Amino acid sequence: MIFTTKAEYGVRLMVRLGELPGNEPVSLKTVAETERLPLAYLERIVALLRRAGLVESTRGAHGGYKLARPAEEIRMDDVIVALEGAVAPMSCFVDDTAGDRVLCSHLDDSGSGCATKLLWTRVQGGVHRALQQTTLAELVDFQSAPDAVPGAVVV
Amino acid sequence: MIFTTKAEYGVRLMVRLGELPGNEPVSLKTVAETERLPLAYLERIVALLRRAGLVESTRGAHGGYKLARPAEEIRMDDVIVALEGAVAPMSCFVDDTAGDRVLCSHLDDSGSGCATKLLWTRVQGGVHRALQQTTLAELVDFQSAPDAVPGAVVV
DNA sequence: GGCAACCCGACCCCGGTGGTAGGGTTTGAG
DNA sequence: CTCAAACCCTACCACCGGGGTCGGGTTGCC
């Protein structure tokens, strides 16, 4: 049960963008070097963030990327969805974004839903809440000063 | 971000075992047929549950499996760990079972931990709590009578 | 116009998931 | 005592997605 490196790298990229004044765009090359990540791969990852409207790009020489919104207003929920697609604990889980209905595809029969449905729903809820209640700004603060952030998981 | 079918099949197996009187062992063949799962694969899965002490087996003719403890006392946390190994949102996550320390392996440098640490820790906490607060008995009840269980995710 | 950057599609290697095959070994029933 | 039903185990395999690379294109400041 893991996120892929897309999420890891993408989040680290976002944190980098979030920890500086903010108007000047940062080149991917810079990020790739300081974070020691493969540049070509990062390019594909940042494309996901751009299409999701989380970062903005300026092309040409001295171009780069910057956050589309201030870090305080970016919920990690959105970031992860942009990077990984809808977060679901099981492949048969399709959540229409409304948030309550959950479908289990391997049900050809009628009657009682699969027993695991309840469990996966709760797990998904737990992940969703954790992601939604964390902002990019918190991660930025955490990196510059660990221990300073009340690591406590939301109640 | 998904669990594998090991978790899915294993949980369904446990639910089957949990929904009957309980003393008589059930043969895997029966479960495989009613759940329409491949028998040979189920055998490998149930071995994980047995080694974890969650089910007991009786060999020989008319043998089978039964729960080692009443369903009310089985937390899904234990079941998932037995089936999938330690649940971690990111491959570099190694949690010593104490529960608080989290190590991130791709840190060769000193100083500030990777920024994503805070995020993965919270996600892991969310999953852990969801699994720990759900008992097998709840799933059994849910299957026989959906809607009857307060689907609400723990607070 | 040249170089630095963003863009994009095609391609590739590898490990793990999700099985199957084929054999044991235990034990109740006839 | 024998047979068959069940548990048990190891070895093997196909496919797919993750985690990249390569090579080129397009923009636009100096």
The pLDDT assigned to A101 comes to: 47
Chain C footprint positions (protein CB, under 7 Å)? 2-10, 17-22, 25-29
Q: What is the mean pLDDT of residues B121-142?
A: 95
Q: Which of residues 111-130 of B touch strand D (CB under 7 A)?
A: none
Q: Are A76 and B119 in contact (CB under 8 A)?
A: yes
**A50 CB closer than 7 A to any strand C atom:** yes
Residue of B nearest to A11 (CA): B116
Residue that wins the pLDDT comparison between B99 and B89 = B89
Q: Is the CB of A29 under 7 A from strand D?
A: no
For residue B5, pLDDT over 80 is answered with: yes
CA dist., res. B96 & res. B74, Å (int): 22
- Altogether, the residues listed in chain A come to a count of 155
**A117 touching B (Cβ < 8 Å):** yes
Mean pLDDT of B128-136: 97
**What local confidence, expressed as pLDDT, does residue B112 receive?**
43
Res B108: pLDDT: 44
Q: Which residues of chain A have pLDDT under 50?
A: 96-101, 103, 105, 107-112, 153-155
Rounded CA gap, B131 and B86, in Å? 12
Q: Return d(Cα A108, Cα A92) in angstroms, integer.
A: 13
**Residue B23 confidence (pLDDT):** 73
The verdict on a CB contact (< 8 Å) between A143 and B89 is no
Instruction: Tell me: pLDDT of B40 over 50.
Output: yes
pLDDT at position A59: 95
How much of chain A is in helix, strand and coil states, percent to nearest 5? 45, 10, 45
User: What value does the mean pLDDT take over residues B51-61?
Assistant: 96
When the pLDDT of each residue in chain B is averaged and rounded to a whole number, the result is 84
Residue-level pLDDT at A98: 41
pLDDT for position B61? 94
Spatial distance from the CA of B68 to the C1' of C26 (Å): 20
- Predicted local confidence at residue B1, as pLDDT: 73
Who has greater pLDDT, B24 or B90? B24
Q: What percentage of chain B carries pLDDT values higher than 90?
A: 65
Q: Please give the pLDDT value at position B101.
A: 47
Q: Is-contact B117 A149, C-beta < 8 A?
A: no
Yes or no, beta carbons of A125 and B130 under 8 Å apart: yes
Q: Residue B89: its chain A contacts at CB < 8 A?
A: 1-3
Angstrom distance, B119 CA to C27 C1'? 53
| A-to-B residue pairs, Cβ atoms closer than 8 angstroms | 140
pLDDT confidence tier of residue B91, bands split at 50, 70 and 90: confident
Burial A89-127 (b: 16+ CB within 10 A, else e): bbebbebeeeeeebeeeeeeeeeebbbbbbbbbbbbbbb
Q: What is the per-residue pLDDT across B113-130, written as a single tens digit (0 to 9) for each?
A: 577 889 999 999 999 999
